Amino acid sequence: MAKDIRIVEVGPRDGLQNEAAHLSLEDRRQLVSLLASAGLRYIEVGAFVSPKWVPQMQNSGTLISGLFELKKEKVISSGVQFSALVPNPTGMKDALQTSLTEIAVFGACSESFSKKNINCSIEESFERFAEVIRLAKQNRIKVRGYLSTAFGCPYEGAVSPKVAVNLVQRLLKMGVYEVSVGDTIGVATPKQVRLLLRKLKDKVSLRKIAMHFHDTRGTALANVLASLDLGIRVFDSSVGGLGGCPYAKGASGNLATEDLVYMLHGMGCRTGVDLAKLVAMRPWIESRIGRQLPSRVGQAGVPSHRYDQ
Ligand code: HMG
Ligand code: MG
C-alpha cells in the first residue's frame, strides 16, 4: 500500500538563511506562494532570530502577515501550514504579533554548535525553550522541535546517539509535537541513521520523529530510504537543495525537495506535491539567488516517460 509522506519544506528558511543573495520580502513571499501552488502543505517561512546574526531572515513578521493576506485572498490555499523558528522568548513575542499557529524551537546535540548557533549552552537553550513553549501553549500555538548535529558536529566530531535520544525525549516531554532530527553537516550514512532510529524506537514513538538531512556528501536519499524502512514518515527538504546553516561551516544544501519527491513517487509513496511545478520554479529561484541550484532532478528535468511501473 502506498505510504503517505509529509514533506516539511524548509527552503524559505533553512535555504535562504545561507544564501549570499538576500531576497526582498516580495521575492520571499513569491517563493512561498510558488511552493504552495506546487502542493507543499507545510512550509517553514522564516525565523524570529537576530537580524545581526541572520540578516536573510529579517522582517519575518512582515513576511508572515503578507502570507496570511495571500491566504485570505485565496492566492495561497487555506490548507497550507506556515511555521517559523523561534530561539527564545524575545523571538516568541515577535511571533505572537503574527497569525502563526505553529512555531519551532531549535536546539543542538553538541555544546560548541549550540554556543555558535544560538549563543548559549544546551541547558540554557532548554530553559529558553520551556518559556517559549509555555507562551506558545498559552496562545494555542503548536511547537515543533529541531535537534541539530544529531550525527556529527563541525567543531566536536562524532555525536553519540545516546545524546540525541536523551534530548529528543526531553523535547517531547516539554510538549513539542514532533522532533526533527538533523544531520546538519551531512555526515551521516544509513548505518548511523539505523543505529539512532533503533535506539530512539526503544524510547519514543517514531511517529513523533521527522528526519532533516543535508546532502553535503551525497548520502541524504540513502538516509531517507533507511529512515523509511524503520517507519519514518516525515522528512524536511528544501526546494532546489537551497540551504545550509550559517553557523555550521560546510553545511551545504538541504536534501532537495525535487529529489526527495522523485524518489518517493517512484516508490509508490504519496506526497501531494506536483513535481513538474516544483521543477518549473527553478529558473525563477536561480535568477533570484544568482547561482545554479544543486538539485539533480531539477537539473535533469522530470522524465517524459514513467519508469516506476
Ligand atoms: P544573543 O546575542 O545571545 O541575545 O543572541 P541576547 O539575549 O544577549 O540579546 C542581544 C541582542 O539581541 C538584544 O538587542 C536583543 O534584543 C536581541 P540589543 O539590546 O543589543 O539591541 N535579540 C533578538 N533580536 C531579534 N530576535 C530575537 C532576539 N533575541 C535577542 N529572537 C540569538 C541569541 C538566539 C537571538 C542569536 O544567537 C541568533 O539570532 N542566532 C541565530 C540562530 C539561527 O537562526 N541559526 C540558523 C538556524 S538553525 C539551523 O539552521 C539548523 C536547523 O536547520 C536544523 C539542522 O539543519 O540541523 C534548524
Ligand atoms: Mg538545516
Q: Phi/psi at 108 (nearest 5 deg)?
A: -135, 165
Instruction: State in Å: Cα 213 to ligand 2 middle.
Output: 7
Instruction: State in Å: Cα 256 to ligand 2 middle.
Output: 12
Q: Is the CB of 40 under 6 A from ligand 1?
A: no
Q: From 50, 96, 153, 238, give the residue whose CB has the most ligand 1 atoms within 8 Å, as the site to mutate.
A: 50
Q: Which has the minimum average pLDDT: 99-103, 119-123, 191-195, 245-249? A: 245-249
Q: Break the chain into its structural domains and give their ranges.
A: 6-300
pLDDT of residue 216: 92
Q: Is the CB of 19 under 6 A from ligand 1?
A: no
Q: For residue 245, is pLDDT > 60?
A: no
Q: For residue 8, is pLDDT > 80?
A: yes
pLDDT of residue 291: 87
Q: For residue 280, is pLDDT > 80?
A: yes
Contacts with 153 (C-beta within 8 Å, 6 or more apart), sequence order: 108, 109, 110, 112, 113, 159, 184, 185
Residue 198: all three cell numbers together: 533503533
CATH number corresponding to 6-300: 3.20.20.70
pLDDT of residue 247: 62
Listed as own residue / partner, the contacts of 188-194 with beta carbons closer than 8 Å and 24 or more positions apart are: 188/151, 188/152, 188/213, 188/219, 188/223, 189/219, 189/222, 189/223, 190/219, 190/222, 190/223, 190/225, 190/226, 192/151, 192/161, 193/151, 193/223, 193/226, 193/227, 193/230, 194/226, 194/230
Instruction: State in Å: Cα 45 to ligand 2 middle.
Output: 13
Residue nearest to atom 8 of ligand 1 (CA): 119
The pLDDT tens digits of the residues spanning 179-231 come to 999 999 999 999 999 999 999 999 999 999 999 999 999 999 999 999 999 99
pLDDT of residue 243: 81
Residues identified as active-site:
245
Instruction: State in Å: Cα 29 to ligand 2 middle.
Output: 20
User: pTM to 2 decimals?
Assistant: 0.97
The pLDDT tens digits of the residues spanning 64-104 come to 999 999 999 999 999 999 999 999 999 999 999 999 999 99
Residue nearest to atom 22 of ligand 1 (CA): 50
Q: For residue 125, is pLDDT > 90?
A: yes
Q: For residue 276, is pLDDT > 70?
A: yes
Q: For residue 294, is pLDDT > 80?
A: yes
